[in-house]
Amino acid sequence: MSDIILGIGDYGASKNPGSMVKTYALGSCVAVTMYDPILHLAGMVHVALPESKINRAKSEECPGYFADLGVPLLFDEMVRLGCQRKGRGLIVKMLGGASVMAGNDTFNIGKRNVLAVKKILWTLGMGPVAEDVGANHSRTVSLYADSGLVTVSCPGRGQWQI
């Protein structure tokens, strides 16, 4: 067992057979998964806020907390572990970004996170092939190294795949 469990602001990747990368309870946070189907290399980042400029100190200490820094860092980690694929060869998915009920613009951090992730992916020349974002429920996300399967679950709502 060499599963990687990510907290808020963490990123990580694994190509160990039978392993998975998992993060619990994304509320307004967003998880980006990257999967290299040739290497069976699975990576994920759990970002909480769209932009790092809000707090320089924290962004140095925990860059994965911010979409604009966390997503490129995940890609660097994929490359470090041997990934040579870009664009369509790498399977990118995006999950989370939920909002509270009756939320106003101020409270719609989930939506801002989703937009920020899309923007930085675009800058990197990538785009998500699947997404499960928005609505108002939390998501626990797992990405399996062997298959590249992404499963999502939420208490009271069961489990599904994207």
Partner 1 sequence: MESRITFENVREAIEKLPMLSPNVSRLLQIMADEDYELDDVVNIVKYDAALTAKVLKAVNSPVFGLLNPVTSLDRAISYLGKWIVVSIILSDSTGDLFSRPLAGYEGQQNALWRHDLFAAFSSSEVARYAKQSFEKELAFTAGLLHDIGKYVFAPFWKQASGEALGRIEEGSVADYLAAERVLAGLDHAQVGYEMARYWEFPEPLQQAILYHHTPEQAPERFRALAYAAHLGDMCAMMAGCDTGNDGMQYQLDNGYIEYFELTSESLAQILLETEIQFKQAISSLSLEEEVDK
Residue ranges that bind partner 1, judged by CB under 8 A: 5, 8-9, 24-29, 48-50, 54-55, 58, 65, 98-107, 109-110, 112, 136-138, 154-157
Q: Residue 34: what are its φ and ψ, rounded to 5°? A: -130, 135
Nearer to partner 1, 86 or 157 (CB): 157
Based on the residue annotation, tell me whether 29 is a catalytic residue of this protein: yes
CA angle 38, 43, 46 (to 5 degrees): 160
Report in angstroms how near the CB of residue 122 gets to partner 1 at its nearest.
22
Nearer to partner 1, 33 or 138 (CB): 138
Report in angstroms how near the CB of residue 61 gets to partner 1 at its nearest.
9
Q: What order do you get walking across the sheet with 4-6 strand by strand? A: 4-6, 20-26, 139-144, 150-154, 158-161
> Which residues are the active-site residues?
29
